[in-house]
Amino acid sequence: MMPAMFEAYFQTFEDPEGGVALTARLAAFREELARRQLTGFVIPRADRQQNEYVPPSEERLAWLTGFTGSAGLAIVLATEAAVFVDGRYTLQAAQQVDVRAWSIASLVDPPPESWLTEHLAAGDRLGYDPWLHTSAAVERLAKACAKAGAELVPVDSNPVDSVWTDRPAPPLGPVTIHDAAFAGEAEADKLVRIRAEMTKLGVDALVLSDSHAVAWTFNIRGADVSHTPLPLSYALVPKDGRPTIFIDRRKLSDSARAHLERNADVRETDELTDALTRTAQSGAAIALDKATAADALSRLITSAGGKPMGGNDPVALLKAVKNPTEIAGARAAHRRDAVALARFLAWIDREAPKGTLTEIDAVEALETFRRETGALKDVSFPTISGTGPNGAIVHYRVTRKSNRRIVPGDLLLIDSGAQYEDGTTDVTRTIAIGDPTDEMRDRFTRVLRGHIAIARAVFPDGASGAQLDTLARQFLWQAGLDFEHGTGHGVGSYLSVHEGPARISKLGTTPLRRGMILSNEPGYYKRDAFGIRIENLVLVTEAGIADAEKPMNSFETLTLAPIDRRLIDHRISKKEVAWLNDYHARVRREVRPHLDEATKLWLDAATEPLP
C-alpha cells in the first residue's frame, strides 16, 4: 500500500477528472456566461497574487479544462474554446485536455491576444476577473478587444466559482517565525532598506502584493500553498510610519502575532481595500509590483484619487541577493541534500535494471531518503520522474494513470528539490538504465558541455543572464538542436524554488549580482523517446582574477551529486573533463564521510575520474 505521505502526489488536480465531467463543466460555464450577458471569459492559471503554486481553491483552470501545468490560460467563447500553454507544457496539455472541446494554442508566440482578434466579433463582451490579471495583462486584452470591436468587461465575481459547486475552502496554514539564525537580517533593518528604495522611486507608499515579499520582509513563513512555505498575505508600507500586514488572523499564533506587531500593524485581508483607498485619497503615489499586483488594486487606487506607479517590486531584488547567513545555509542544505541524493542514486543503480521499479517508486524513494535527513520540511516542487517518452515532457508529473515502468534501455530523468529551513534545493539528473544508445550519449554530452560552460563562465559584474544563455545552447545548436525552456531561474532561501527577478535565459535582462542563487539546467527532449536535463544550483561569486581591469564574477556550484559518466561520449574536451573530475572529487570529499559503506563504494565508482 502507498504510504499516506505520498497520497497527495497522485490525486486531485494531478490526475483530474475527464470525459463527461469536464464536458458538463464547460457547458455549465457557458450557461453562466450567457446568464451574465457575456460572450466569453478569460481564465488564467492564477490566484490574486500570481503565485506559481496556488491553493486548490484557486485551481480554476485545472477544474474547467483538465490541464494542470503551472502556467497557462483558457478563453471560452460561445462556440470556441482554447487552452494556451508554453513550450514546457505542449505535450502535457495534449494528454490532459479534451481536444474535441478545446483547441491548444501558444501562450507566447503568438500570444492569446492574437487568437482573440481572430475569434471575437464586433459587439462581443469578453469578461475577466480583475483580481486574477495584472494591469499589463488587462491592457493587452483590451487592445485585442478594441481591434475586434469587442468590449472587455471586468466582473465583480468570478463565473467559474458560480458553477464550481464543490470548490475547496481557502487555506488557513499556520504562520511560523523564520528565525534570525536562518534569515540573517532583522525585519526593522529590511524595512530601512526597502524605504531607501522607495525614496529612489519617489513614492509615498508601497504595496507588497507578492506574499514572498511579505514573508521575506517580516521573517515569517507559512503553509498556504504546496511546496513553498508561503503565508498568503499583503502589506502596505508607507514612507513614514508603521507598515500594515493584511492576513487572516486565524493563521496567527500568539507568538506569530507578537512577532509581526513588533514592526507592523496586523489587519484582516479584506481590510486591504479600505486601507488602500484611504491612502490613495490624499493623491498619494503608490508603488505596485507589475508582475504580481492585481489590476483590481490599480483600479481601486485610481478611483480613489491616487496614482498607481507600476514597476518592479524593489523587494524582489533585495530578496534575490542572499546575505552571508543565507549563503551559509544554502551550502549546508545542499550538503545535507547530497547525502539523500547519493543514497537514492545508488538505490536506482542497484534496483532499476531489474525492470520492476516505476516512476512513482522513484518519487517515493527519493522523498523517503530526504525525510531520513530529519530536516526536510517539504519537497520544493512536485518531483519530475520521467522515463522513456515521459522524460521528454519537460514538466511531466507522474500520475497513477501515466505511471511507467523503468526498464533497461531507457533514460530516467529525475528533477527534484527540497525545502529545508536553511535553504532550498533543486537538482536534476539523467540516469542510464542499462546500456544507452549512441544518440543518447551524443545528446547527453552536448547538454553536459553546455552545463559545464555555464559552470565555468567568468563574466563582468552587471552582466545579465541573457548574455550567458548562449553558452548553454552552443553545442546543441551545432547539431541543429535546442531546448524550449530557460537555462536557469533564481532560487529563494526557504521560499520559492523559482524566484525572480534574475534568470539565465534569452529574456533574462536583470543583472546578475553576487549573492544570487540560480539554476544551471540545459536539456534536450526527443518527443516520444527520451528527455535529458542536468541541473545544479550555482551561487554568483567574485571571480578573483588578479589584475582584472573591472570587477568579474563567476559561479560556485552548490549542488553535490554525481553526473552519470556512462552517458558521456568522446566529444568532451580535456578542460571539460578536468572540470568534471574536480567536481566529482569535491562530491566525494564533502559527501562520502556521511554515507554508509555500501553507498560509499557506489559513490567511489560513480565519481571515478574520467581519463
**Cell 480554476, residue located:** 60
Mean pLDDT of 427-439: 97
Condensed to tens digits (0 to 9), the pLDDT of residues 457-507 reads 999 999 999 999 999 999 999 999 999 999 999 999 999 999 999 999 999
Amino acid identity of 123? Answer: G
Taking the C-alpha atoms of residue 95 and residue 240, their distance in angstroms, rounded to an integer, is: 53
Please report the DSSP string for 9-55 in residue order.
Answer: GGSGGGS---THHHHHHHHHHHHHHHHTT-SEEEEES--TT--SS--
Task: Report residue 586 as a C-alpha cell.
Answer: 569535491
346 and 603 Cβ atoms separated by less than 8 Å: yes
Q: Which residues pair with 428 in a beta bridge?
A: 415, 535
Mean pLDDT of 271-288: 97
* Res. 14: pLDDT tops 80: no
432 and 530 Cβ atoms separated by less than 8 Å: no
Going edge to edge, which strands form the sheet with 423-424? Answer: 378-379, 418-420, 423-424
Taking the C-alpha atoms of residue 89 and residue 91, their distance in angstroms, rounded to an integer, is: 6
Task: Report residue 500 as a C-alpha cell.
Answer: 525572480
Of 419, 457, 416, 470, nearest to 556 (Cα)?
A: 457
The reported pTM is 0.92
pLDDT of residue 305: 98
Task: Report residue 137 as a C-alpha cell.
Answer: 495583462
Condensed to tens digits (0 to 9), the pLDDT of residues 130-141 reads 999 999 999 999
H/E stretch holding 6 reads: none
pLDDT of residue 87: 82
Taking the C-alpha atoms of residue 321 and residue 310, their distance in angstroms, rounded to an integer, is: 22
User: What integer best gives the mean pLDDT of the chain?
Assistant: 95
Name the DSSP class of 292: T
Condensed to tens digits (0 to 9), the pLDDT of residues 165-212 reads 999 999 999 999 999 999 999 999 999 999 999 999 999 999 999 999
Of 327, 491, 515, 489, nearest to 422 (Cα)?
A: 327
pLDDT of residue 15: 47
Taking the C-alpha atoms of residue 40 and residue 561, their distance in angstroms, rounded to an integer, is: 50
Amino acid identity of 390? Answer: N
Task: Report residue 469 as a C-alpha cell.
Answer: 544563455
Place 18 in a pLDDT band, splitting at 50, 70 and 90: low
